[in-house]
């Protein structure tokens, strides 16, 4: 048990005793004097019996200000003009012992330390116990025995310690470097989302930062508003601004809003494309910058002006997209299977006439019959036998949009291939189970650059066809860089 020049105090949302006092101040910032007055107004008469000439608020405030400057790193930068905001930390220069133990009531605590302290007969044991408990409750807002932490910190006011072999004599009356609470206890402002569901909890303060949390934690403001209330240990910083979060989600939710997996695959695909082009050593904020730039181009067919309509509604599609963005940022499973492109109903409708297959900058594609069937299954079922896209599309009139050989004899198969080449001149290979074309343009000609790798929702995903021998020597970053991220 060591003797300190003061104790640490956090201006805590959760501390109802402090909060009631704070609301009477009618200000968003708090001075050291107001903090000192919070303790001395309530406990001054007891302090008078322990300390000599110690109840002067101004004197204690000046000492507290100096103590805070010495103990809190970069204090002058953090607390401009000496003013604190809610959830800030300060020091109160009332000297005494700091004693840490498992949660226990004040009587039990006093029984274990009363041989180490002395109020010089000015306070009875019951008065001392009551004072210790009041200080604890004013600092933390709860009784010590009700704490859910493994360890609690008692402050025992004392002017001079009784010399005892169990005390650290070297610490008497020194300005000790008080150990502040860990940064994980600092509260944060921003936009908050439930990690496992994507539910939007709300916004607090002026910050545009986004955080992932595991549960709802709310507090009531004096103006009647209910806002999120999280510490650093409760909230995982996503390193993305709310504007960028909305921009990315707003574009991609309009690509395919079937379910979480397709949302996660879409978000991951954008990040995969950025990495393919710019390398994997980028910081997250730079990846997000490029992802936003990519989505502002014709890389996506969705209007880049669209943003997620965040509201109290928390629709399933919104939650799925928010969950997906969080999932990708935090390094979750790649549902795209390594993709850097995707396609949807336009690919089903046009097949070999699609830009990726037969456009001026066609990449050359590789797709299996199984993958094509999986995609068609997503569009056509007993409940939905057709969809409209440049006309009515059915499974029957879409099936041959990506052709596969159907005949058994070699002669008949050659006839099938010649027929396909008439409307798909850049055909490279076709079998009963595989369809491949070569690309077009200076960089893509004679190559088969992308391979269908996954179907999620109503979207097919394409990854770089790295192992294809025809692609030897290809500079893969040009696949993205040349058109969208110059």
Residue 447: inside a domain, yes or no? yes
The last residue of a domain, from among 224, 239, 254: 239
| Percent of the residues in the chain that have a pLDDT greater than 70, as a whole number | 89
Residue 408: inside a domain, yes or no? yes
Q: Are 296 and 370 part of one and the same domain?
A: yes
User: Above 50 in pLDDT, residue 470?
Assistant: yes
Q: Are 44 and 151 part of one and the same domain?
A: yes
Q: Are 213 and 108 part of one and the same domain?
A: no
Q: Are 161 and 263 part of one and the same domain?
A: no
The last residue of a domain, from among 239, 255, 270: 239
Q: Which pLDDT belongs to residue 179?
A: 46
Residue 164: inside a domain, yes or no? yes
Residue 15: inside a domain, yes or no? yes
Residue 486: inside a domain, yes or no? no
Q: Which pLDDT belongs to residue 15?
A: 86
pTM value surpassing 0.85: no
User: Above 60 in pLDDT, residue 165?
Assistant: no
User: Above 60 in pLDDT, residue 326?
Assistant: yes
Residue range 169-187: mean pLDDT, rounded: 46
Q: Are 400 and 468 part of one and the same domain?
A: yes
Contact at 8 Å (CB) between 255 and 344?
A: yes
Q: Which pLDDT belongs to residue 176?
A: 41
Q: Are 149 and 61 part of one and the same domain?
A: yes
Q: Are 175 and 79 part of one and the same domain?
A: yes
Contact at 8 Å (CB) between 358 and 295?
A: no
Q: What is the mean pLDDT of the chain?
A: 86
Q: What is the pLDDT of residues 262-300, one digit of tens each?
A: 999 999 999 999 999 999 889 999 999 999 999 999 899
Q: What is the pLDDT of residues 372-420, one digit of tens each?
A: 999 999 999 878 888 898 889 999 999 999 999 999 999 999 999 999 9
Q: What is the pLDDT of residues 189-225, one digit of tens each?
A: 899 999 999 999 999 888 999 999 999 988 766 566 7
Number of domains in the chain: 3
Q: Are 195 and 98 part of one and the same domain?
A: no
Q: What is the pLDDT of residues 101-124, one digit of tens each?
A: 888 899 998 888 876 665 545 778
Q: Are 106 and 138 part of one and the same domain?
A: yes
Residue 326: inside a domain, yes or no? yes
Residue 124: inside a domain, yes or no? yes
Q: Which pLDDT belongs to residue 220?
A: 65
Domain that holds residue 217: 189-239
Between these two residues, 471 and 53, which has the higher pLDDT value?
471
Q: Are 388 and 461 part of one and the same domain?
A: yes
Q: Are 228 and 146 part of one and the same domain?
A: no
Q: Are 217 and 332 part of one and the same domain?
A: no
């Amino acid at each position: 048990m060591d003797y300190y020049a003061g104790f640490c105090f956090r201006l805590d949302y959760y501390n109802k005793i402090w909060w009631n006092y704070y609301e009477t101040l009618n200000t968003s910032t708090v001075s050291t004097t107001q903090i000192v007055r919070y303790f001395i107004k309530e406990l001054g008469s007891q302090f008078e019996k322990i300390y000599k000439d110690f109840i002067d608020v101004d004197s204690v405030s000046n000492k507290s200000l100096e103590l805070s400057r010495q103990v809190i790193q970069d204090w002058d930068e953090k607390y401009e003009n000496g003013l604190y905001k809610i959830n800030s930390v300060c020091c109160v220069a009332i000297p005494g012992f700091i004693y840490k133990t498992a949660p226990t009531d004040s009587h039990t605590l006093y029984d274990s330390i009363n041989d180490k302290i002395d109020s010089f007969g000015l306070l009875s044991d019951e008065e001392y116990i009551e004072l210790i408990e009041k200080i604890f409750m004013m600092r933390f807002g709860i009784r010590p025995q009700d704490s859910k932490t493994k360890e609690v910190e008692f402050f025992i006011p004392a002017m001079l310690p009784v010399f005892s072999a169990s005390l650290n004599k070297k610490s008497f009356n020194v300005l000790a470097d008080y150990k502040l609470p860990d940064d994980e206890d600092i509260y944060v402002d921003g936009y908050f989302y439930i990690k496992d569901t994507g539910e939007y909890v709300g916004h607090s303060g002026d910050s545009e930062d986004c955080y992932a949390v595991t549960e709802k934690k709310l507090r009531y403001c004096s103006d009647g508003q209910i806002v999120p209330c999280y510490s650093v240990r409760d909230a995982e910083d996503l390193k993305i601004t709310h504007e960028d979060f909305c921009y990315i989600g707003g574009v991609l939710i309009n690509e395919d809003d079937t379910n979480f997996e397709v949302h996660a695959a879409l978000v991951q695909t954008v990040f995969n494309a950025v990495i393919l082009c710019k390398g994997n050593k980028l910081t997250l904020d730079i990846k997000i910058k490029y992802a936003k730039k990519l989505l502002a181009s014709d890389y996506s067919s969705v209007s880049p002006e669209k943003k997620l309509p965040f509201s109290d509604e928390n629709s399933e599609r919104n939650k799925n997209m928010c969950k997906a963005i969080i999932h990708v940022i935090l390094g979750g499973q790649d549902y795209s299977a390594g993709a850097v492109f995707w396609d949807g109903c336009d690919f089903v409708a046009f097949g070999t006439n699609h830009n990726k297959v037969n456009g001026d900058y066609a990449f050359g594609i590789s797709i299996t019959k199984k993958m094509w069937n999986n995609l068609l299954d997503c569009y056509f079922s007993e409940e939905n036998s057709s969809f409209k896209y440049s006309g009515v599309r059915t499974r029957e009139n879409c099936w041959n949009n990506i052709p596969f050989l159907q005949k058994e004899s070699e002669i008949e198969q050659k006839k099938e291939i010649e027929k396909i080449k008439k409307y798909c001149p850049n055909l490279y290979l076709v079998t009963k189970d595989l369809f491949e074309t070569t690309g077009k343009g200076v960089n893509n000609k004679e190559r088969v650059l992308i391979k269908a790798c996954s179907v999620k929702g109503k979207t097919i995903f394409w990854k770089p066809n790295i192992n294809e021998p025809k692609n030897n020597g290809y500079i893969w970053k040009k696949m993205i860089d040349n058109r969208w991220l110059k």
